[in-house]
């Protein structure tokens, strides 16, 4: 049976973050990192970003991808909370991106209690982006945010 594809990412975003300081504090190499105004895009003019992500994988459950990121960050609650103190108005977001095709199974979309508690400890948002592809290769985007 064919499955939909799932990717998860954890984003630190703020108008005054310093990605080198975050690298040092977390001791994790980000997949993407830039300070405010480093690039000439609308979003980088307002915010800096530091993020880690999984690759797209076929999946029965979004928690398979989400747990990979949480495993990296689980013992870094103190550092994550310190980053928020050091750089005011910084936000954390876990985003799960699901690509659903007409002929594929959809993954389970829920958060287990361990994940909810972790997100609460660091004050993180959680979002799901659903991309539903039709037979003609077009898609509809559906965003769920909590």
Is the whole model's pTM more than 0.85, yes or no? yes
| Phi and psi at residue 129, to the nearest 5° | -105, 125
Instruction: Give the SS3 label for residue 32.
Output: strand
On the question of pLDDT at 37 being above 90, the answer is no
Residues 68-107 have pLDDT tens digits of 999 999 999 999 999 999 999 999 999 999 998 877 788 9
| Among the listed residues 10, 33, 15, the one whose alpha carbon sits nearest the alpha carbon of residue 23 | 33
Could you list the beta-strand ranges (E) of 1-146: 5-14, 32-34, 48-53, 57-58, 91-101, 124-133, 139-145
Using CA atoms, how far apart are residues 40 and 94, in angstroms rounded to an integer? 25
Closest listed residue to residue 22, CA positions, set 74, 68, 79: 79
**Rama region for 136: left / alpha / beta (φ>0; ψ in -120 to 50; rest):** alpha
């Amino acid at each position: 049976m064919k499955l939909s594809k799932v990717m998860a990412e954890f984003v630190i975003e703020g108008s005054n973050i310093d990605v080198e300081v975050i690298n040092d504090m977390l001791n994790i190499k980000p997949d993407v990192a830039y300070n405010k105004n480093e690039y000439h895009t609308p979003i980088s003019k307002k915010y800096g970003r530091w993020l880690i992500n999984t690759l797209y994988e076929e999946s029965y459950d979004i928690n398979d991808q989400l747990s990979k990121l949480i495993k990296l960050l689980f013992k870094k609650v103190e550092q994550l909370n310190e980053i928020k103190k050091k750089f005011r108005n910084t936000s954390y977001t876990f985003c799960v991106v699901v690509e659903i095709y007409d002929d594929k199974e959809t993954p389970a979309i829920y958060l287990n209690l361990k994940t909810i508690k972790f997100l609460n400890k660091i004050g993180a948002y959680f979002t799901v982006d659903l991309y539903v592809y039709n037979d003609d290769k077009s898609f509809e985007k559906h965003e769920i945010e909590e």
